[in-house]
Amino acid sequence: MPSLSEQAYADLRNRIVRLDFAPGDVLREDALQELLGLGRTPIREALQRLAREHFITVIPRRGMFVSGIDVSELSMLFETRTVLEPYAARLAAARGTDDHWVRMAGALDGVSDAAGNEDLMTIDRLGHEIMWEAAGNRFLVDTLDMLYAQSDRLWHLYLADVADMSHAVEEHGEIMDALRSGDGERAGELTEEHIRSFDAQIRAAVTERLESPLAG
């Protein structure tokens, strides 16, 4: 069972990713204690972890704020994912079990019942999480989990209302087939293509917004 600190971290990060706490919002410990029904220590530990992962920014004598998205850092986020995630796919192809692929297939079966992009994004994340778990490296999982959350936040900022996630989620079917067959190289290649496609969508949306007459 997750500790109180882990529960606070997961809850707060989810609110940041889904923009319940928007970039620039002030975060006050006492208000968060009341919101989550938790004490000072787990809230403080969660905030410290979120600061290390760049979800929040601490400014001495001013307080804590939800971090903005620095467009110049998009390339660093995705170039890191395009190295680590295909590596995880190759490990998963070698180490994964039938249980992993049965669970992944079950998750992908939910595509036909998805009510919209939010449901599809949930399925996409589950597909990634099962692959990370199959890779069997907790340090890699922790890093990829954080990177995916930052990507998820970008999706909510720029694409949630306009992008069609169905094709991106369907790509997991090909990835799963490669993983199940133990073809690590193919799984890695497909995973890299999947991430690059998502990166291209984000970049296009960011560029369009920055070039809009209403920007700024």
Query: Please, are residues 141 and 92 in contact by the beta-carbon 8 Å criterion?
Result: no
| CA dist., res. 169 & res. 154, Å (int) | 17
Domain extents in the chain: 4-66, 71-211
Query: Of 7-11, 23-27, 117-121, where does mean pLDDT reach its minimum?
Result: 117-121
Owner of token pair 């995705």:
78
Give the other-Cβ count within 10 Å of 148's Cβ.
Answer: 19
Residue 74's pLDDT is: 86
Query: Please, are residues 19 and 156 in contact by the beta-carbon 8 Å criterion?
Result: yes
User: Which pTM does this prediction carry?
Assistant: 0.88
Owner of token pair 């907790």:
138
Q: Which residues contact 112 (CB under 8 A, 6 or more apart)?
A: none
Alpha helices in 19-162 (DSSP H): 29-36, 40-52, 74-95, 98-108, 117-135, 138-158
Residue 212's pLDDT is: 62
CATH topology of domain 4-66: Arc Repressor Mutant, subunit A (1.10.10)
Q: Residue 214 — very low, low, confident or very high, per pLDDT cuts 50/70/90?
A: low
For 95, the token pair is: 């180490």
Q: Residue 114 — very low, low, confident or very high, per pLDDT cuts 50/70/90?
A: confident
CATH topology of domain 71-211: Four Helix Bundle (Hemerythrin (Met), subunit A) (1.20.120)
Q: What letters, b where the CB count within 10 A reaches 16 and e where it falls short, cover 88-124?
A: bbbbbbeebeeebbebbeebbeebeebeebeebbbbb
| CA dist., res. 57 & res. 39, Å (int) | 21
Query: Please, are residues 137 and 93 in contact by the beta-carbon 8 Å criterion?
Result: no
Mean residue pLDDT of the chain comes to: 91
| CA dist., res. 89 & res. 101, Å (int) | 13
> For 200-211, how does the pLDDT look when each residue is reduced to its tens digit (9 = 90+)?
988 888 888 766
Residue 205's pLDDT is: 84
> For 50-82, how does the pLDDT look when each residue is reduced to its tens digit (9 = 90+)?
999 999 999 988 899 999 877 778 889 999 999
Give the other-Cβ count within 10 Å of 81's Cβ.
Answer: 25
Tell me the three state secondary structure of residue 160.
Answer: coil
